Amino acid sequence: MSVGNAAFVMRILHVCESLIGGPASYLEEILPYQIQKFGADKVALLAPANHRESIAASINCFVGTYERTGRNFRSILALALAIRKSIKRHDPDIVHLHSSLAGAIGRVIVRGMLRRPRVVYCAHCWAFDRPRSTAFTQFCALVERNLSRLTDAIVNISSHEEPLLRKAGFSLNNAKLIVSGIKDLASPPDARPPVTDHRAPLRLLFVGRLDSQKGIDLLLRDFALLKPGRATLRIVGAKIVDKGDLIIPPEVELLGWVPRDTLPALFGNFDALVMPSRWEGMPLLAIEALRSGLPLVCSNHGAFPYFIKDGVNGVLMDINTSGFLDSALTILENTDRPAMSAAARATYVAMFRQEQMNRDLIGLYDSLVQTTSQSKRAPTLQSRPMKAERMIGHRAVGESRQ
């Protein structure tokens, strides 16, 4: 790639305020591609020190860390200082900010710098995308709308987001749809065998944060209303945000977190993945289930209605209605489940392949850097290769290379 008349390799800095769950999974899909294209020394990640192990050890780019003890003033200040330090150190062409808090702090920090890299922001799940409008959601929309003016590009990861932003009064001039995708399995799943015993309990799996956003309280409430023996439920995950206690019935098995690479094998032991989310962006977990041919039993909020066809590749639930799980299981029991499994896998193949997402992201980065080459930043960019070479092999305190 070239900018102006000087050839150079693009530098990219990714910033996360939290890695646990979706952000780590998303980065594990895009970082290897970017490292392969530009080199491990041209791609960097800034993340909390205590989340460092959430990223696969095979990802060998620079990883800068900062101390995070929660969503408090000290941690926010530490993140702000770490973002500024990382930008000065890596001199990136692109700063890719992931999720709301990193997005807010990162855009303010970049705005105050003399030499500004291009800023790409992905909310992953918009804070104001809730079932009900409240003072909090209106405030979040106001903040995000104003911050969008400090953003060179907003990455929407599902078709659900454009109408959401339009309704919230955003200008969509800098918004681009790049649908999330994941790499296919080395051995795609075989067709599921026909169901021979319709009297057997349906085997349900929940994976994710045990927080109100994910609707785990609603699931446990509705599961308790089922007739005994109707279904079994296994839960993978733990609390991350919410402080209150959950009452887990004795017949529900809580497994804690499991490594992401064990999920495909785990999926093969269940009839459906249950996702009763109150609000959601484009959860990679849903794509992982579809890739394995595991149907989704999910809420009708967020992105789900854009890719789940009720009774075909999954079941949509109205989580605001008591007894939603019983109604969903009735549909599941009366459906050709092997055909539903095949339809789930076909949805992944048609919509959520990793290759297109990665090509589109690089195309977006490239368009932003090419635009920069025509601005006053061009002379600075032409002098970058020598400076970049001097940074190789030097690592700041708190950074590591896997």
pLDDT 10s digits, 92-151:
999 999 999 999 999 999 999 998 999 999 999 999 998 888 999 999 999 999 999 999
**pLDDT mean over 319-323:** 93
CATH fold for the domain made of 2-181+353-396: Rossmann fold (3.40.50)
Predicted confidence (pLDDT) at residue 231 exceeds the cutoff of 70? yes
**pLDDT mean over 170-199:** 85
Q: 3-state SS of the chain: helix, strand, coil percent to 5?
A: 40, 15, 40
Pairing of strands 202-207, 272-275: parallel
Q: What pTM did the predictor assign?
A: 0.83
**With bands split at pLDDT 50, 70 and 90, how would you rate the model's confidence at 55?**
confident
Domain range summary for the chain, segments of one domain joined by + = 2-181+353-396, 202-351
Q: pLDDT (tens digit, 9 = 90+) per residue, 338-389?
A: 999 999 999 999 999 999 999 999 999 999 998 766 554 444 433 343 333 3
**pLDDT mean over 159-169:** 95
CB 292 within 8 A of CB 189: yes
Q: Which amino acid is at 102?
A: A
| Predicted local distance difference test score (pLDDT) of residue 105 | 97
Predicted confidence (pLDDT) at residue 400 exceeds the cutoff of 50? no
Minimum mean pLDDT range among 208-222, 324-338, 382-396: 382-396
| Predicted local distance difference test score (pLDDT) of residue 338 | 93
Outline where DSSP puts E strands in 157-241. 175-177, 202-207, 231-236
CB 106 within 8 A of CB 129: no
**With bands split at pLDDT 50, 70 and 90, how would you rate the model's confidence at 36?**
very high
Residues 6+ apart with CB under 8 A from 47: 15, 16, 19, 54, 55, 63, 64, 65
Predicted confidence (pLDDT) at residue 87 exceeds the cutoff of 50? yes
More confident residue, 373 or 276: 276
| Predicted local distance difference test score (pLDDT) of residue 41 | 94
Minimum mean pLDDT range among 21-25, 98-102, 250-254, 360-364: 21-25
- Judged by phi (left if over 0) then psi (alpha if -120 to 50, else beta), residue 366 lies in alpha
**pLDDT mean over 260-276:** 95
Closest CA to 16 of 8, 31, 27, 7: 27
Predicted confidence (pLDDT) at residue 177 exceeds the cutoff of 90? yes
SS3 state of residue 309? coil
Order of strands, sheet of 153-156, starting from the edge strand that comes earlier in the sequence: 175-177, 153-156, 118-122, 94-98, 12-16, 43-48, 62-66, 399-401
| Predicted local distance difference test score (pLDDT) of residue 371 | 76
| Predicted local distance difference test score (pLDDT) of residue 247 | 81
From 3.40.50.2000, 1.10.220.110, 3.30.465.10, 3.40.1180.10, which CATH number describes the 202-351 domain?
3.40.50.2000
| Predicted local distance difference test score (pLDDT) of residue 379 | 42
Task: State the average pLDDT for the chain.
Answer: 88
Place of tokens 């890695």: 19
